[in-house]
Structures are given as structure tokens and as C-alpha cells.
Structure 1
Amino acid sequence: MVDHLARAARDGDVTGAAQFLAAGTEVDAPGSTGRTALDLAVHAGHAGTVRVLLAAGADPRQQAGQYGESTPLCLAVMHGYTAVAEVLLQAGAPTGAQGRMSYVPLVLAATPAEHGHPPSVDLLLRHGADINGVMKGKTPLEWAATFGQARMVQHLLTRGAIPTASPEVRYQQRRR
């Protein structure tokens, strides 16, 4: 039953997922691939299925990703699935560092692809994400600049990001 739920979630089959849940399938049980239905629905960008799974008690803070290195919110914003991220945030997903790798969702929304995902960035900021939060020693603005994403740098600046000295300069200053 768990694999059937996982398949329905991956395929965006809201009706099928609801039927398997109504039949008693454990919502957060990993399937034979080691991934949960929520993980697979988020990865595929199916907001409706994510909503059904969360309503059935799926944990929005669970480990996600191929190796359990991430969280559902991190996956959603990294792929630019803003509607999925909205559902997760409404269900209580945190905006700060999370997952085994301590990923910061705002950094992941700001840095993938050529220009990042401005709608996901804006969504996270509306839900209280710290625009100057740090992941691996850099703010979202610094990460965007590191990847040469001029549009995202401008976007973050207009949203209130504070320019800082480079991470190397900050490191030197802390050592003094």
C-alpha cells in the first residue's frame, strides 16, 4: 500500500492518494525507494497532492531528497515550486536552516538556475525568512553574487538584503 501511495503522490494523483490514505496507508512511511509520498509529491511539484498528504498528517519537517539530506520546503523552493512551498509553509514548515545539511531555504530559492526563483524568494520573505540569514558562512545575497546572478542580487537588495564584506574579509576580521 505504501508504494501505491508513493506512486500516486509522485504522479499527482490526488484522488488515488486520498483513497490510499482513507484505506489506512501510513502517510509518512517510506516506500521501497526509501522516499515518502510527501517527498515524491514535492519533488514532482504537485501542490494538490502535497495538500492532501499534509491534511492526513504528513510531517512538513521530515527528511527529503534522494539521500534524506534535505526537507520538503528546501526541495520545493530549489525547484521553483512556489505553490508547493506555500502549502508547506501554511502547514508549519520552518524557514530557517534545516535538514541534515542545514540548508537555508532562502539561499536555495535565490541561487538555482540562471536567475534563481524570485517568486519563491518573495514567498519565503513574506513568511518571515531572514533575508540576511547565513548558510555555510554566506548570506543569500553573497551566494547570489558568488554565482554571478546579477538579477537576483538586485532583487535581494530591493527586498532589504544588507551588503556585507566578503566572507573572506569577515573571516579575517573575526580572527583579529
Structure 2
Amino acid sequence: MDVVDRLTRAAEDGDAALATHLLGAGAEVDVVGTAGRTALDLAVHAGHARIVRVLLAAGANPRQAVGGYRELTPMCLAAMYGHTAVMGPSSASAPPTGAQGRMSYVPLVSAATAVEQGHLETVDLLLRHGAYINGTMKGKTPLEWAAAFGQVRMVRQLLARVRPQQRRR
């Protein structure tokens, strides 16, 4: 197994010590492994916040294309899976909260609609980091997406965050 595959395996497995060692030994942080994914992609997907911090500190690109079809960004992937702990490190500099990735996904919409009732903590984190609550994805706000999916708890949470003058009619 070459160093890139060892790094991606360490990232996927949550082995921060091995990932740190490999990076210190010269492993390139954003190289795609034989499985077609980078270490950051696999660490975010698995929810390994510590590995994400290690990789970002080593210069991993927080806006790289990730996901099975390379259609997302790390922020969108973390939002989709509700990996709130991963999102803090991946948004450390300037939090990318608007439309992103090949499919122009909006992390707030992904977090609000990815599962039956959405990822409530992740939505709160995104809003604290400056996500625009009335931003749209495919013409709908996060509130409209949550309502369309029948996510009552998420609709209530988003309504509580929208000031009356911001509500769309």
C-alpha cells in the first residue's frame, strides 16, 4: 500500500497519529487515493473531527470536490451527515455557507433536510457562522425545503430564527 492510500485509510479509520506521521514524512495532503477519494473527503464522511483538523493544518483544501461523485464540498458533506463537530474545523477561516460544489448545494439546506427531522445542531452552527437563513437553493429557502419535506421540528426551529421582517410571503 502506498503512502497516499495509507493516509486515506488512516483518515477514514480516524487514526490521527498515523495521519500526522504520514504527513510529517511528506505525504501530499490532497492527493486522491486509489479509491477515488482524498483523506479530507473520507475523514469528513466518517465524522472524524480530529483528523479533519490535522488535514486542514497540513494544508488540505477546504473547498475541494468530495463525495462519491465529487459533487460536494467538505462543508456540504459534513452538513448532509450532521457532523457538527467536523464543521467547526472545516469552517475555521471563512465559513463557506453559500451555494457550493458542482451541484451548487447549500449546506444549510442539506443540514435542514438530509434526514427525517434534519440535523438541528448543525443548522444552529451554520446559522451562527453566518449562513443566510433566506438564501435559496433551486429557488427555495431552507424553511421552504423543510416544509416541503414535512419536517415539523426543523420548520419550527427555522421559524424561530427568522425575524418577522425577513419572512417571505
Structure-2-length-normalised TM-score: 0.95
Q: What's 2:12 paired with?
A: 10
Count of residue correspondences: 165
Higher-Rg structure is 1
Counterparts of 2:152 and 2:34, CA distance in 1 = 42
Residue 92 of structure 1 deviates from its aligned partner by 3.4
Aligned with 1:34 (options 36, 44, 50): 36
Structure 1 CA distance, aligned partners of 2:81 and 2:167?
26
Counterpart AA for 2:98 = G
Map 1:16-165 to 2 at 5 A.
16-160=18-162, 162-165=166-169
Conservation of the 8 A alpha-carbon contact between 1:54 and 1:91: no
Deviations 1:151-170 (A, max 9, x none): 100100001164434xxxxx
One-letter identity of the residue aligned with 2:50: G
Task: Quote the RMSD (CA, aligned, Å).
Answer: 1.1
Q: Distance in 2 between matches of 1:86 and 1:111?
A: 20
Alignment-mate amino acid for residue 164 of structure 1: R
Alpha-carbon distance, 1:93 to partner = 4.1
Q: Percent identity?
A: 65
Structure 1 contact 60–93 (Cα < 8 Å) conserved: no
Structure 2 residues without counterparts, runs of 5 or longer: none
Q: Deviations over 1:101-122 (max 9, x none)?
A: 0000000010111110111111
Contact 2:65–2:71 (8 Å) recurs in 1:
yes
The one-letter code matched in structure 1 to 2:101 is G
**What is the CA–CA distance in structure 1 between the aligned matches of 2:31 and 2:93, rounded to whole Å?**
19
3-state secondary structure, aligned to 1:24: coil
Q: Which amino acid aligns with 2:74?
A: P
3-state DSSP class of the match of 2:97? coil
User: SS of 2:91's equivalent?
Assistant: helix
